[in-house]
Each structure stands twice: as structure tokens, then as C-alpha cells.
Structure 1
């Protein structure tokens, strides 16, 4: 059905990231990473002589629109491959549709783990690729009393559950746990910051996402807290959110991620240069851009080999493949359909970038079900 035999028709793929709404601050960058990769592939002649043409919808940060647009792509638009989703709630809204209609969703976002679908390729970090090292680093560098702040949906609650377990195994304690709406503003964080002032934790662990991230960090700054002694540490705060909140507001805070813009190496330098040429010198890359970018290139390599968009054929070819991504060499783990990505920890500097504090020696094998929930290798401080 999807073979290119004796045709020059373009390859049509779906692209489903929010350009509006409370998640646009990060999903817009994922859209950009996707489009840059498609442009690069097409400029090099496409795949087997055929261009990749994106079918793009804006789900406006609404799960109902993610669901309806995914169905439209797979049914009305004749698309079988979709690049999209940031939040776990949007992924879970799309999941039953791609499974029922046998589509293939490429998901370029870190998430809480404990999921497997034959119709999803997961290219963001799983908890063993970010939470383990971050917990080690924070407890060794800052202390063992954590205050959890998250957006109120599945990813923050599940990520905090995992972090609680990791913290407990290290002899630490959670001194507070609060959740806010995905549309939270600075007033919603005022009572939380007052509670933080009373409890005096060593670390604020944030799983807040979207525009609310900006409000969290700005309210923290309004209270005069010092990141040198009590940082906000996150798995989700990227260069994009730091730009939105202000470099001075983000200064000194911690993020664990497979990728930061400032990583050395010609592969990343070329990627950053291409991104800035396309979208502006003041537009930073981030881990979500990078995953959105490399997954399209991995898709194109598999498509070149299979010459078909048939989900079953394409997916089996993707599993086990490797790629020299801007973050470094990565692979799609054939046992779980997740990417083996790098583990890194960075601190935001006064240029809105992250200074690298620690990194793994190579990519970390994905273990989304945490089958070996043991203490990760010590993080040098």
C-alpha cells in the first residue's frame, strides 16, 4: 500500500506539535527540529528519490485535538507515520488510535516510563536515563531533603513516584509535594514558595511543564531564594524555558538531559548552526528539538532500506539501528523500542545555556520498566 515502487509521489508523514496554547513554548521547538530534519533530507534528494512532505496540524495543547488530528491523519490524510506529542497525556490520547489503525508514532520527549507499544518509537529519556543520575548528583552535592513541585497530570506524578523511591534508597526524605494546573500562573506558586520557605528543603525537584515552568522559576526569584544552596532541579526545564523566563531567573538551576546546546563536537555544532540559520541567532536548541531532529533522520534511514511506509516493515527495520546524533551515538533498543540516549547534568549559566557538570561515558541502555532499580553509578562532584 505504501511502497514507492514505480512512483515519484512524495512520502507523506504526520507532524503533531502544538504551536499555540500553554505547551507551545516547547512543542514549537519540536516542530522546528522535525522540519529542519525533513528539509535536510529533501535537500539531499529525499528518500529513494522522493521528497518527504509533512502534514501538519496544531493541536493547541489540547488532548482532544491530539486525538482527533491523529485519527484524521491516519484515516483521511493517508498518513501512517506521525512525529508528535510532548506531554504524556497527549501521547496516551493518541496511543489507542495509532494502535487500532496500525500507525507508527515517533515520540521525542522524556517521559515517566512503564509503557510499551509496538506502535511507538520512544526517543526521549526514560527515568533510568535521567532521574537516577540526577538523584545521585543532588543528594551528594546539595542534601537529601527534597520538595516536589509538579504539573497535575500523569508524567509529574509518576516521575515523582520514581524519584521518591530513589531518594528513599539514598536515605533522603520528601518534605513536601504539591501539584498545580497546567495553566498555572505566578499566583498559584505563591503558597508553594511560602511552604518551601517554612520547610527549607535542600532541593526543589520540579516536574512542572510548559508556560507554568516560567512562572515557577520567576516566583522562586521573587522570593529571593538562592540556587547555590537550594536549586530547582528538573528533568523538563530546557534552554527554551530558560529563554522565556529570563537568563537571570534561570541562572544556577539544574537540569538532567541527554542533550544541551553547548555540547562540543562537530556534529552538534553543525546542528546548532543550521537551527540558528533557520530560526534566528537568539533561538536556542534543546533536548526536545534534538530528539525531534534525530528521530526523523532515523526514520529516513529505515525508509530508504524498506522503501515502504508499512508500519510493520518499517518498525522492524528501525529496531536496533544506530545514529550519530548531536548528543552523540545513540541507538533504538530492540528490546523495548526506546532510544539508548546519554545521561547528562547541567547548570544554567548567565547566557541561557547549561554548563556541563556530569555526563555518562556513553549512551545509557533504556530500561523503561526499571527492571534493575538499583543505585546508579556514583556521580562525581
Structure 2
């Protein structure tokens, strides 16, 4: 297996246990024998219900349960019900890695839905790839990755910050300050953002990263006050994101003079911090609760009235997670039609998922489809501004679905294909992370 560790950073050590103990694993081919027509399909749900990442990830767990309930009431997947095996990863990269092994070996799940941060995704990918298993990753991420074991339903950098940066420069000014959580996604996302900023004629005044889960932004805000940017570009996540917005206002910063443009601060974060702390700031995402279409209205009303809608709002990450359940349903059923129900493996699902569409009648954000080469999602980017009531007014939306491009700022590296990363010389490397 030729997977690259150049971007694992500190998470490599957390995930290494999966590579050091291959003798504990059953062969992946044994997965086919575990499927029996009429028995429920077990899937892993691996998000954090506690800790610093619980704010977005608890809702991902809740909306997956809602989606599978919805699917089961309509006949299930391949004629059988889905049985989610729910795990609390506790916002701990070691736990993500350990529980991935348990879900595959002990629980014998056919696929895993999980992770919010790229750090947690990279912690479990060595195990996923070693076992030729399947991860549905349902949120935005930085790209520069090409595996044959993931399906991603969130936007890549070329589908959000590429629009957000020039929008902010045009409307608020050229000077920007970057603030992010200290792990791979913010840093790699900001490499993309710097290119979009340069193309827009902007100027980067500073770049700061704070530990994941930290709530102390005083020193960073002092640097921002001294730099006097026109806007802040934020890749701060989880509980830290809430603390950042609250301290921004408490320190006397004015949103009309220096708004925060974020890739992560949506309805659920705004609800957690209080609408007064989110109002006026911006988010780039493919989904907002205020989208005006019949499918979204049905989704919002149904989810909020269900036992899973306890937190009182929908959110881009929740919707992307919801979509992943329907992508799984279509992929499994296509694989079963091709190879037979009892012969379906995680890899077979992935290989039959290219080109799968989730139509307007099912997708709250509107039609999306899975790219048949890189297995990311074609979607319509949007930009919203938070209002006084915590909802978002859409201020810009793409006219058509934008192709996902994992290597948009690295054209010389190659192109992600269904078989691996194809370099300009024609050589293909599998499982590049």
C-alpha cells in the first residue's frame, strides 16, 4: 500500500497501532460471509458525543439516526433495515482509531460514517485502508488526498473558500487576518485561501493557530487589533469556534467593521454561542436551514419534530451527513444488483458509488452527485450572512454544481482517479493521504 504520511503530522502516531498489529484482524474478504439477506445491515457511526468536538458531531449522530429511520420506514437498504452502531469518540484521536478497529472486527459493520476534523479522519484512515473498508466522511475538508476507501459528501476548498475569499475582499476590503485551530485542515485550507486571496488582490496581515479545544483568544485578538484587517478568515472549529466569536464581541470588535468569514460557523454553533455573537458574520457552505425549497422544508420540519431534533436547528454538516446515508443506500443497492446481496463488501459499495445522484426530491440542498473518479461531491457553493435570529441569509449562490477538485492548488502532483493518484508521468499511487 502506497499511502503518503507527509500530512499526517501528529496524528500519525495515534493511528500507527492499526499498522503495527495486523495479526489481530480477520481478512476483509470475510465480510461477504457476514451479510445474510433478511438480517439488518450494521453500519458504524463514529462521532464525538462529548468533549470539544461534540457541538457539531452530536448533531451528525442524531441526523444519521433520523436518516436511517426514514430509510428503514421506506423499506430499508436492499430490502433490509439498517442498524447503526453508535460510538462516542470523546473528541480523542486515540479513541477514533481504537473504535474504528472495534467497529470493523467486533461489530462487523459494512461501512463507517464519521469524523468531523481531518485530524480524526487521518487517525482512522490507515485502518480503513489496511482493511479495504469504507468511510463516509460528511463534512468540508482540505483535499490533497486520494484514497480508494472514502466517499466524501462535504465541500472541498475549491467549493467554498474559493468563492468566500474574493467575496469578502470585494465587499469589505483587501486586508485579512487568518485564525485557525492547530491541525491539518485549517493549515492546508489556508494554503488554498492564500492563493484565492492573492488572485483577488488581497493582503494577508497575519496568521495564527490555537490548540484544538482551546478557549483563550486574548493574545490572538490583540494581534488582530494591532493589525487592523478588513475581515478575519476563520478555520476555528468546535467549542473553540464558539469561544472565539464570543470573545470577539466581548473585546469590543465591531462586526460591521471587521466581520469573520468562516468555513465552520453555522446554525448549530450560533445557537450554542447565542445569536448576538454570530449576527453579521459569514459562512460558506452548500446548505443553510433557510434554503427555500419543498425538500428542505420537509427535512427541517421532520427532523425538528422527531426525537432527534432536540438541539432545535439544522446545519450544513448535519445535512451533508444526512446525504451520506442516501449515498450509502444507492451504492449498496447498486453493488448488490451487480454482485449479489451476500457478496457485497465495503469496497464493492465504493466501486459502485461513482456517479450516484441524490435528487432534488431527497436532497435538502438540491441535486448532488458523487464524482466517478475522486468520489467527492458535485454541489452548489453558497455564502450566507448570519442574521439577528441566528438564521442565515444567502447572499451568494453558484448557478450550477461545481466539480470537486482535491488537488486544485497542486496541479503538478496529479489527478485523483478511481484507481489512485495519477501523476503527470502516468504512474498511479494508491491511497495517498
- TM-score bracket, normalised by the shorter chain, equals over 0.9
Q: How many residues align?
A: 371
Matched, 1:159 2:189: yes
- Please tell me the root mean square deviation across aligned C-alpha atoms, in Å: 1.6
Question: Which residues of 2 match residues 222-301 of structure 1 at below 5 A?
Answer: 222-278=250-306, 279-280=308-309, 283-301=312-330
**Which residue pairs with 2:368 in the alignment?**
330
Q: Kindly tell me: are residues 9 and 264 of structure 1, through their superposed partners in 2, closer, same or farther at Cα, counting changes over 3 Å?
A: same
- Candidates 347, 353, 356, aligned match of 2:385: 347
Quote the Cα distance in structure 2 between the aligned partners of 1:84 and 1:372: 27
Matched, 1:83 2:113: yes
Matched-pair contact (CA < 8 Å) for 2:35–2:41: no
Quote the Cα distance in structure 1 between the aligned partners of 2:171 and 2:58: 34
Matched, 1:316 2:354: no
- Identify unmatched segments of 5+ residues in structure 1: 374-381
Quote the Cα distance in structure 2 between the aligned partners of 1:128 and 1:320: 20
Give SS of 1:2's match.
Answer: helix
Quote the Cα distance in structure 1 between the aligned partners of 2:82 and 2:33: 14
- The CA deviation at 1:7 is 2.8
TM-score (normalizing by structure 2):
0.83
Question: Which residues of 2 match residues 87-166 of structure 1 at below 5 A?
Answer: 87-166=117-196
**Which residue pairs with 1:178 in the alignment?**
208
**Which residue pairs with 2:81 in the alignment?**
51
Matched-pair contact (CA < 8 Å) for 1:116–1:337: no
Larger CA deviation: 4-13 vs 139-148: 4-13
Q: Kindly tell me: are residues 176 and 21 of structure 1, through their superposed partners in 2, closer, same or farther at Cα, counting changes over 3 Å?
A: same
Larger CA deviation: 328-337 vs 74-83: 74-83
Larger CA deviation: 355-364 vs 307-316: 307-316
Q: Kindly tell me: are residues 282 and 104 of structure 1, through their superposed partners in 2, closer, same or farther at Cα, counting changes over 3 Å?
A: closer
Give SS of 1:226's match.
Answer: coil
Q: Which runs of 4+ in 1 moved over 4 A?
A: 3-6
Matched-pair contact (CA < 8 Å) for 2:278–2:390: yes
Matched-pair contact (CA < 8 Å) for 1:80–1:102: no
Matched, 1:302 2:331: yes
- Identify unmatched segments of 5+ residues in structure 2: 1-30, 412-433
Give SS of 2:352's match.
Answer: helix
